[in-house]
Amino acid sequence: MNYTHFVSVAALVSNDEGDVLLIKSPLRGWEYPGGMVEPGETFQDALLREVKEETGVTVEITGFIGICKNVEKDIVNIDFSCRYIDGELKVSDESLEVCWVKKEAALEMITYPLTRKRMENMLSGNEKVNCFSFRKEPFEVLAEESFCVGKLL
């Protein structure tokens, strides 16, 4: 059996004022920065690269939020929390607009169902790791759980 999975990473980037960074994608509307992990690249390097490419800013990874899988296309999405370090906001081919928004406004701006679900997980403030599987068209969560960070007994 051949196994082929694709992996993407995404960032919930916060600044010192508690605002979050959003981009306006030409495909999905407002969302968080992120993208595909390239062959030979670590999750962390991919995340830092994607944020810089799409927004112009440098961030520091501060935590792991969750993971989800598209069961139809075998795409695994990994979500991290990040802290803004420096840089000026700029647009790219993947971001028509880039802006800081209040956390409360972020969900109102996001309309794409999967992006909205992931952002809800990102903003939950839950100290557990969120994990869900979904079907994309039409969007449907197939299984969902939150897990404590594992510790050896």
Q: Which positions are catalytic?
A: 97
Alpha-carbon span 70 to 54, nearest angstrom: 23
Q: Other CB atoms closer than 10 Å to residue 89's CB: what's the count?
A: 14
**Nearest 5°: phi and psi at 82?**
-140, 155
**Nearest 5°: phi and psi at 145?**
-155, 160
Question: Residue 88 is encoded by which pair of tokens?
Answer: 């000026």
Closest CA to 34 of 67, 5, 2: 67
